[in-house]
Amino acid sequence: MKCIIVYQSKTGFTKRYAEWMQKALHCDIKDIKDVTGQMLSDYDRIIFGSYIRIEKVCGWKKFKKRLGEDSIQKLVLFATGSTSVTAVDHINGIWERSMLKEELSVIPHFYMQSGLNYEKMSLGEKLLMKVFAVIMKWKKRREGTKLSQDISKSYDHSSKKYIVPLVEYVTKQNTVK
């Protein structure tokens, strides 16, 4: 089965995960900037990965349009973000905001915790995150809630262990066909 990983990465976390998966699956890999819909028509399995931005998977809708409806059965989606993998309800909310209801049950999707890299963010993104950090600190004091991570500085929680479910899924699908 011919497989490709297409990724969109802003600060490097999604690219790192895509490269780890590429080595594990021995498949092709491309940055979304270098991909056309026609190019992808040759593949039996298309893995798309991107980062979470404003509670959605960035670029997902545009990527689907590039592929067309007949490619839905080929797709696997992964997203990276700073949210802890233990925040299952929050992550499920991201999937629900990112994918159509019918896609949720048809397209396999996987979340991989990464981190924040302020050094690679634009000025606007840095400001948004700093404002969010202040709001969360205020909320923490007011409501006594715990933050899973101090979002006021860069950090990296990426781990190869987070690719295992996706790699196992794709490997199993490749042996079934």
pLDDT tens digits along 63-107: 988 887 777 889 999 999 988 898 899 899 999 999 999 999 999
> Residue 130 corresponds to which tokens in the numbers above?
């700093």
> Residue 93 corresponds to which tokens in the numbers above?
């909310």
134 has a pLDDT exceeding 60: yes
153 pLDDT band, cuts 50/70/90, is confident
Q: How far is 107 from 113, CA to CA, in rounded Å?
A: 20
CA angle 116–152–119, rounded 5-degree value: 45
When computed from its CA atoms, the radius of gyration of the chain, rounded to whole angstroms, is 17
Out of 18-27, 129-138, 140-149, give the one with best mean pLDDT. 18-27
Rounded average pLDDT over 20-49 = 93
Nearest to 20 by CA among 164, 170, 116, 154: 164
177 pLDDT band, cuts 50/70/90, is low
Annotate 115-131 with three-state secondary structure: EECHHHCCHHHHHHHHH
Backbone angles phi, psi at 163, to 5 degrees: -85, -15
58 has a pLDDT exceeding 60: yes
Cβ-Cβ contacts under 8 Å for 163 (sequence gap 6 or more):
17, 20, 21, 24, 112
Nearest to 135 by CA among 153, 158, 151: 151
Tokens 């262990």, located at residue:
161
pTM of this structure: 0.86
- The answer to whether the beta carbons of residues 95 and 29 sit under 8 Å apart is no
The pLDDT value given to residue 78: 98
142 pLDDT band, cuts 50/70/90, is low
Query: H helices within 68-176, ranges in order?
Result: 88-98, 101-106, 123-143, 164-176
Cβ-Cβ contacts under 8 Å for 147 (sequence gap 6 or more):
136, 137, 140
146 has a pLDDT exceeding 60: no
